[in-house]
Chain A
């Protein structure tokens, strides 16, 4: 053995390897990693006394219990938002949108934290008084010049206290152009009004043993999503007494995959399916007696037999006659069965034709006012904020004056204002919504906001609309302010939720209602007289006077009708079920003229709803982005659309191809995922991604579905409708790694 260079190297290498084999290095590495927790700038949650408070998330209507640490920062801090086990709707459950509320509330890159104003094109923070004065001055000038009607207000929820305040403000100020974002609540109320003379109806899902869902995402955000999921869980609880769920829609969605039977119908034929089933029941002589005595029954029966006979319906819907027949039999035989309609998969408010067909089917089944059927809800015992106010006589831009129940149409308002006919808009106030992203038709709304000389956004976030606005008034999150929300879509019992300020994050952020009241005060005169409340809390106290006092209500968090009310009364002019509604001039409901594919745009585009992405009304938190799978958002933030392999093959497209989906209204770039569950001839796009605001966690992730949708007024309700959009697909180059 020689002790030379080579021998030394051998020894040294052995020594290094030996040291590596000892715990010294891995332990040091581990400790260094743990040491990073102790860096002075890493936030270290302090200990404090923990308290719980009840609240409600008005976006999801989930009753939540917030875990607070007191005596920190500006008073308290929310640690966690969790489900409230005592809440009748959510029963302790939450969805991702609820769990990530604190993340969004505290994330100051998203939030509008102070009033802002654009001066010479540059947006900067200003004192609240200055911002309000500017808005009031502008509105005052317009009113003085006789242009009050040229001010439009777009808001989120007509049933909230802010909604009612805005109605009073608009009436007092003198503008007919107050529009609310379209919702399926409006379509259901209208369909109920036309057929039954009742506009406050719901579905008793929990007690149903056989449910047919007509094209509505029952498990992806229907009504109060947690409550609907709880009902579904109850259906599945007892394997020996399992309730049946049938889903009718063209895509194998989450609901379809969880259903006992999925009827994969052709796009836009859900209403046809409902009438086909109703026809089979009538033909079998098992229709309810109330139907036989309904106004227009003979005409209705003849129409069903002529247009929705089994063979024709099978051909129209693409579902085999045997399957339709089996479902009709199952539905008829089930003691407690209900047919459900609701918001469409694209986040649209649904077609009136479909809703009427589904409600008529329920009437034919004879489940009106029965357990597990369609039920009447009590009216909420709330009080109006004041005497009714006369609406301005100027015709509204959206044409709602001529519609039954005067339903708004934000899209028609935008189109009319852009064309300047009959008159243009001089100012726009957006409250609690983000039309520049969620439209309807985002591009059109962006154009409108761009064109209007003065735009005000009352928003919790610096969203797309706020970024375009001249004045931004920061709204508080529901954890920071007083506010309310009313009965979720389709619920069987009337419900009213109240939230109160639990924490203070941004001192300058106020509730939307507080901003409306402050503006009314600044405007003075009639506007101030119409809203004589010191703050939203005072307005809520007046509104809830018959509900046992605001403090008790806030402590409990909600008011709810004790139990579903069974029994049904028709309040139509004839006092009967009206199958040929007088509201439609005694005519039968006719299928909505679907926007049909053409040679130029051979495919139909629809949305993919999801509890993870929501319907696009609310931004996603960083946490929600992390839980998206790679068939929604692929590598490099590429949005993924679904297409049937056969359709893809016909178009010479393959898995992962990056394509441009183009409609007459706009285009988006997506990666393709071949999915056998997608109906041929269609392309399905996730809804709610593709923001251009909100900072690094949300900005530029995916593409915005609402930029490509084509909107048309529903011929029945007049509400904007974008369930299906004809599109073309062309390769845009590149491949996404789906």
Chain B
């Protein structure tokens, strides 16, 4: 019983972790977008660089898309590249001076490292979830994370503990979150000839 009455020094670490996750989440919301589908479905996207949003191919099904930023601004976006095999798509948006994602190679991640996702599931815009990397990426274009994702997370960022984007969330497989690696995104963009400054 003494444990309950004395101040637990570790409790302050727990609070700090909460604050840290929320500040990373705040940053990720700025570089994440909401993409509305034709039938009212919602997906997510990442502002990869100024004027360019990366999302999943299964989110970007049409040519034109309504892209909504964290500050509720809405712009039209035009599909510029799409690859169903890697489940990636690039959308050019008519907006400049956007906060853009800091990218980290998913190949550097160690199993157990913390990962944070932000997305737009049906019951929460800009919803954050946290977990750990399930296993190291190796040469695979997909990474697995022990994190609770929902369908609206598709296309949204999976980031490390510093908020660096390491992948694009794309699926849920046996309770694990799957994300296309940042490395596969870079390859996709250069392969599809998306101009450096879109």
Q: Do A and B come from one complex?
A: no
